Amino acid sequence: MAQWEYKVVAVPRDLAITKRLFSVPDPAETVADYIEQILNQKAGEGWEFYRAVVVSVRVPPGCLGSLLGQREGTAVYNL
């Protein structure tokens, strides 16, 4: 029986888009470049890409938020 080891890498929610001198970069291209760098780095460390997933997490309000009637929210993470 094969034994597998998995590694999960989170993609930041907010990627900074750096403006170029005479053009505005495409946000999709910025994200693709970032993910490509991560994949190449991990491949160089011997890891193989399996899949990308999106995980939603329920976030309850804090103490003050509860007192002020704040509702439960949802945080979305790209892994």
What backbone torsions phi and psi does residue 26 show, to the nearest 5 degrees? -75, 125
Better-predicted residue by pLDDT, 76 or 19: 76
Rounded average pLDDT over 14-29: 72
Q: Can you give the pLDDT at residue 26?
A: 77
Domain ranges of the chain: 27-78
Q: Can you give the pLDDT at residue 44?
A: 96
pLDDT bucket at 1, cuts 50 / 70 / 90 = low
- 17 residue type, one letter: I
Using one digit for the tens of pLDDT, what is the confidence trace for 58-69?
A: 888 778 877 888
Q: Can you give the pLDDT at residue 22?
A: 72
